[in-house]
Homo-oligomer: A and B are copies of this chain.
Amino acid sequence: MDNVLEFIQKRRSIRQYQKGAEVSDAQVETLLRAAMSAPSAGNQQAWAFIVVRDRARLEAVMTVHPYASMLGTATLAIVVCGDLSSQQYPGYWVQDCAAATQNLLLAAANLGLGACWCGVHPRPEREEGCRKLFSLPEHVVPFAVIAVGVPAEQKAPADYYDAARIHHETW
């Protein structure tokens, strides 16, 4: 059991990265492979991903998202999107994308990388900003921007266990 929690709790929101440090294409592929291994409603996989390494574009994201300043030192970002054209079970794409994002973050942490989930959906102004910046078609909704880099900060394992949030048999 210890190894299981170790893997999961290794993930923390890392916001400071070693500027200019390399994250290889192979590592990025592992992150995306992890993301696409998530469950989705009826296995509809209503997701898509944009890998952003261009520095000017990363800076531009910071102008349309109020809490993405960590992109200043991130090596890259992955924009997780909902692809509504893949939706067979309406309304579930948000959950699909969140599960994929969580897989991606866990993979990053356990590869020794640092990552941070910057929420976009359901904030209309952030969605609109990302939509323009990445020329998204109508059927694609920007869900989140994930900053990725080599950590320049260390954090202890996360453990937010709260017995008060657990009920038995009924509320």
Chain A residues engaging chain B, CB cutoff 8 angstroms: 1, 3-5, 7-9, 11, 13, 26-27, 30, 32-34, 36-39, 41, 43, 45, 47-54, 57, 83, 89, 91-92, 94-95, 98-99, 101-103, 105-107, 110-111, 117, 119, 122-123, 133-137, 140, 144, 157-162, 165-171
Contact = CB atoms under 8 A, between A and B. Distances in A.
A98 B170 CA distance: 21
Main secondary structure of the interface of A (DSSP, over half): mixed
A91 B34 CA distance: 26
Each complex incorporates copies of this chain amounting to 2
A11 B39 contact: yes
Nearest to A47: B165
Contact of A122 (B34, B50, B91): B91
